[in-house]
């Protein structure tokens, strides 16, 4: 479904550091619900690019987060590092940021560590200092900043309270669609068949127990979103409608932030779904345009490359 499964191609990042980018060794981390993407920069040039499992403590245990960070730092290197700039979902308070920084610190003793919500990385990676960033990945959220330094957010409440238009939302809606068809006596169709095969069950009824099982979770169901995308590409009407709704819901998040900040844009869409699913992108653009927001962009590089821009602004 996405082209972010193997993010280790260094040329994807900017080859020329932004003005005022810090020298020395900088590590950028983008921590999502499914993976932790890390890049080691030396004098603004990326020299190592690796991924590990999620280290977001809202999605995995503290122990698993620590293990995944340790695995990542083994591969990108720790040691003598000047700065670590980490963006993560679920960073809503100073306590959230401090807890994640404490997990990072043992790998980079003496480094200056900054932890922010991951949507900030996205806006910077889109070469914008003001505007609205919308994440459509495992979860969803919008964050923005205006020229006066005002900030606003919408969504990002987690899968139990929100995450509209996200991978998890699409996976869950695919399950609900399959259950509704079963209840109405319709035969298994292409979307349901693909979902059943992926989940290793032979009847839609078995999806109920699997969905509530501790053996599956947010990441597992977010991965099922690919079946909606594939079915939509094959002409499946209901799957197409789900992608349309996802785009509409994500546009609504962006509009909330635009209105709070009193700015026209730009709006930058990122995340695994946002960067790689054209029907969702089209719906997102359409619903924003209907509301008068026309400066809409899709992120062209991984959000972690926004770290250098943020450090340059911070410095």
The 10s digit of each residue's pLDDT in 290-301 is 999 999 999 988
Per-residue pLDDT at 266: 95
Q: Which of 153, 110, 108, 103 is nearest to 257 (CA)?
A: 153
CA 287 to chain centre: 21
Query: Which two tokens mark 164?
Result: 């509209």
Per-residue pLDDT at 8: 36
Per-residue pLDDT at 16: 58
- Given a cut of 70, the residues of the chain with pLDDT beneath it are 1-23, 315
d(C-alpha 165, C-alpha 280), whole Å: 9
pTM of the model: 0.80
105-107-111-116 Cα dihedral, nearest 10 degrees: -50
Instruction: Quick: pLDDT tens for 68-81.
Output: 999 999 999 888 89
Of how many residues is the chain composed?
A: 315
Q: Which residues contact 309 (CB under 8 A, 6 or more apart)?
A: 18, 21, 124, 125, 127
Instruction: Quick: pLDDT tens for 32-85.
Output: 877 899 999 998 889 999 999 888 877 788 899 999 999 999 999 888 899 999
Strand blocks (E) in 32-158? 35-42, 45-53, 83-88, 112-117, 131-136, 140-145, 151-155
Element (H, E) at 296: strand 296-298
């Amino acid at each position: 479904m996405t082209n972010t499964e193997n993010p280790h191609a260094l040329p994807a990042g900017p080859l020329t550091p932004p003005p005022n980018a810090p020298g020395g060794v900088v590590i950028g981390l983008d921590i999502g619900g499914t993976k932790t993407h890390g890049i080691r920069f030396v004098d603004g040039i990326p020299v190592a690019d690796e991924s590990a499992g999620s280290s977001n403590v809202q999605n995995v245990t503290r122990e698993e987060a620590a293990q995944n960070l340790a695995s990542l730092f083994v591969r990108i290197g720790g040691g003598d590092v000047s700065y670590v700039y980490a963006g993560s979902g679920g960073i809503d308070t100073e306590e959230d940021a401090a807890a994640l920084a404490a997990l990072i610190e043992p790998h980079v003793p003496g480094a200056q560590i900054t932890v922010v919500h991951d949507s900030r990385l996205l806006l910077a990676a889109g070469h914008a200092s003001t505007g609205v960033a919308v994440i459509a990945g495992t979860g969803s959220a919008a964050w923005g900043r205006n020229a006066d330094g005002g900030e606003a957010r919408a969504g990002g409440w987690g899968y139990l309270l929100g995450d509209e238009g996200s991978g998890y939302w699409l996976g869950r809606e695919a399950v609900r669609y399959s259950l509704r068809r079963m209840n109405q006596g319709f035969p298994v169709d292409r979307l349901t068949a693909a979902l059943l095969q992926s989940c290793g069950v032979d009847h839609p009824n078995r999806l109920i127990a699997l969905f509530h099982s501790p053996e599956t979770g947010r990441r597992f169901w977010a991965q099922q979103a690919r079946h909606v995308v594939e079915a939509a590409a094959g002409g499946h009407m209901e799957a197409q409608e789900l992608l349309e709704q996802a785009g509409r819901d994500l546009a609504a998040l962006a509009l909330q932030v635009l209105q709070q900040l009193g700015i026209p844009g730009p709006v930058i869409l990122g995340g695994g779904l946002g960067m790689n699913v054209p029907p969702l992108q089209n719906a997102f653009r359409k619903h924003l345009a209907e509301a008068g927001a026309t400066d809409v962009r899709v992120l062209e590089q991984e959000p972690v490359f926004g770290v250098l821009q943020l450090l340059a602004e911070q410095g």
